[in-house]
Structure 1
Amino acid sequence: MSTFNYSLELLQNNSNSKKQALKKLAPEFISIAYTNHTLSFFETTFSTALTLKKVTNIKTAVHLPASSFTQEELDKLVVALQKSTIDSALILSGEKKLNKNSAYTSALELAKFLSRRIPNLDILCSCHPETITSEINLQNELSLMKTKEAAGCKIFISQIFFDNTMFIHFVNHCRHAGIKAQIRAGIMPIVNKNQLTFVKKILKLQLPDSFEQVSNDIELKKIGIQFALNQINMLKKQGITDFHFFTMDNLDTVKLLIDGVL
């Protein structure tokens, strides 16, 4: 049986059920989503990460949208990270207008800053397989990924996708371009209608035909989990070993996925 490694994205809370479930699931690492900037990052995202790392001893990354932090906040973050057991950060570009006083507006800028200030910090970034559909966009993405890798990025987590062939071609282009960092396949099992709306209206991705005629949530969950399982098992046959699940706090779905992996 081929290797199967998986990681999870989680929301900012420390429920006892989540702690116990994580211990049983034992993912390779977890990433804690960024809070809305009207709330305190340190009281939500960072606090959740500290608690879950302490309780589960699972490698934990905090989400850091570059456009969300002032220089003062970044200096505070550096001190907090250096004093904590958190050794990883998923650095995202975020919305450019999220904080008009932000020190940086791009993930690359923030990655360079944190790499200088905390050399032993494990830096993760996102990547976008859908750029394979445009030669210009693909070359821009590859160039940016190479620059992020040079700035310290060790793992790329892909945007959600539904076309396995596209993802495989994207990874091959990355390797041919000399990118050596790990590339994790981002998988979102569609199990409710809110996710359908998110994928179509926010991410603007084309959903597989099997989702378009679903009439109720029970049927949607069944189809969504089976589609995700098919994705994972087909990708494993193509040599993909590393996955990141966008299941948020739906750990029951994670259990169904890992139990169904061949």
Structure 2
Amino acid sequence: MSPFNDTTARSGSLFASPIADANISFEFFPPKTPKMEDTLWTSIKKLESLNPSFVSVTYGAGGSTRERTHNTVKRLIDETSLSPAAHLTCVGATRDEVDDVIRDYKAAGVRSIVALRGDAPDGADTYTPYPGGYENAAELVAGIRRIGDFDISIAAYPEIHPDSPNLAADLDNLKRKIDAGANRAITQFFFETDKYFRFLDHCQSYGIDVPIVPGILPVSNFKTLKAFAASTGASVPDWLGHLFEGLDDRPETRSLVAATIAGEMCRKLYAGGVKDFHFYTLNRADLTFAVCHMLGHRPERAQSGEQG
């Protein structure tokens, strides 16, 4: 079912009432090249003006970006007003090595961590715990808790993690992470709000009562999205594909469509009681900035100017 329906048409405007009281946060990944670094920091500076509650920095497969993640987080602390949350995984390191990273973050002033099991290393078909390492995200959360009073986020999967045999197993795993000390869960991206709300119902039935923050991915490239979604267990509805048909060579139109889709999805989530949104920026500011703008979030300086 397409999000552009008769109810939307009758309401006059998707964005007639701003929802600026909602909290927003952003995810970035550490850059590989000087050009990518320039793009990242241009995006960070633009999105910083929206005063997000925090920003997270990802951690590459097998710990491959460990140093770059740490450097990006340290620069966020030193050069911006943002509160960074560093991603951390169990992959490719012993417990002692992971604990050293946690202590390094603590010493650098990092107070928030996104704790993840991590994906199987390149060349491996399935995830296997690293010898002497943390076996899973629940153990990692407990390890972080032992070292410091961090604010800990974890991952949740409205459409079930690809490695989980069924929903019950997935919820059991999520509950273990919460019981180990996680403060909130951030979901994998999704495109149909009904799936998110059904997932909330399942979580409540399991006694999971921490915030479940929806992960929002504004679609910049539909072909890339399909490949990415296949590896994460997220589904791509047919109506989404239809909306991007014929736009391969029209990036500006794609952006308009993508921003509208993401904006309306946030509207529906907000109407259902959601007050926190986590945006996967892919290190590009414009789409996320546009969605936040439509939702009523403005740069603080601009708001002050308008009020003056």
The TM-score normalised by the length of structure 2 is 0.75
The structure showing larger relative contact order (alpha-carbon pairs under 8 Å, at least 6 residues apart) is 2
Q: How many residues align?
A: 257
Offset of residue 191 of structure 1: 1.3
**Contact 1:187–1:228 under 8 Å retained in 2:** yes
Please tell me the root mean square deviation across aligned C-alpha atoms, in Å: 2.4
For the residue of structure 2 that corresponds to 1:189, the secondary structure is coil
- In structure 1, C-alpha distance between the alignment counterparts of 2:132 and 2:27, rounded to whole Å: 25
Offset of residue 131 of structure 1: 3.4
After TM superposition, list the pairs within 5 Å mapping 1:94-113 onto structure 2.
94-97=118-121, 100-101=130-131, 103-113=133-143
1:56 equivalent in structure 2: 80
- In structure 2, C-alpha distance between the alignment counterparts of 1:208 and 1:34, rounded to whole Å: 28
Residue of 27, 42, 45 corresponding to 2:52: 27
Structure 2 vs 1, CA of residues 19 and 260 (structure 1 numbering), >3 Å: closer, same or farther?
Answer: closer
| Percent identical | 25
1:197 equivalent in structure 2: 226
**Contact 1:91–1:125 under 8 Å retained in 2:** yes
Whether 1:146 aligns to 2:171 is no
- In structure 1, C-alpha distance between the alignment counterparts of 2:179 and 2:231, rounded to whole Å: 30
What CA deviation, in whole Å up to 9, does each residue of 1:75-131 have, x standing for no partner? 32133123111111111111244684461231111111111122x011110001113
Whether 1:238 aligns to 2:272 is yes
Whether 1:166 aligns to 2:195 is yes
For the residue of structure 1 that corresponds to 2:215, the secondary structure is strand
For the residue of structure 1 that corresponds to 2:189, the secondary structure is coil
1:8 equivalent in structure 2: 26
Greater Rg by CA:
2
- In structure 1, C-alpha distance between the alignment counterparts of 2:266 and 2:63, rounded to whole Å: 36
- In structure 2, C-alpha distance between the alignment counterparts of 1:75 and 1:176, rounded to whole Å: 34
2:283 equivalent in structure 1: 249
Runs of 4 or more consecutive aligned structure 1 residues displaced over 6 Å after TM superposition: none
**Contact 1:160–1:187 under 8 Å retained in 2:** yes
Structure 1 unpaired stretches of 5+: none
Structure 2 unpaired stretches of 5+: 1-17, 32-36, 123-128, 297-308
- In structure 2, C-alpha distance between the alignment counterparts of 1:131 and 1:203, rounded to whole Å: 9
- In structure 1, C-alpha distance between the alignment counterparts of 2:65 and 2:193, rounded to whole Å: 38
Offset of residue 203 of structure 1: 2.6
The TM-score normalised by the length of structure 1 is 0.88
**Contact 2:222–2:241 under 8 Å retained in 1:** no
**Contact 1:68–1:102 under 8 Å retained in 2:** no
**Contact 1:29–1:60 under 8 Å retained in 2:** yes
**Contact 2:62–2:121 under 8 Å retained in 1:** no
- In structure 1, C-alpha distance between the alignment counterparts of 2:75 and 2:104, rounded to whole Å: 14
Q: Which amino acid aligns with 2:271?
A: K
**Contact 1:22–1:56 under 8 Å retained in 2:** no
- In structure 1, C-alpha distance between the alignment counterparts of 2:216 and 2:63, rounded to whole Å: 29
- In structure 2, C-alpha distance between the alignment counterparts of 1:165 and 1:76, rounded to whole Å: 41
1:47 equivalent in structure 2: 71
Whether 1:91 aligns to 2:91 is no
Offset of residue 194 of structure 1: 5.1
- In structure 1, C-alpha distance between the alignment counterparts of 2:63 and 2:77, rounded to whole Å: 25
- In structure 2, C-alpha distance between the alignment counterparts of 1:40 and 1:97, rounded to whole Å: 13
1:180 equivalent in structure 2: 209
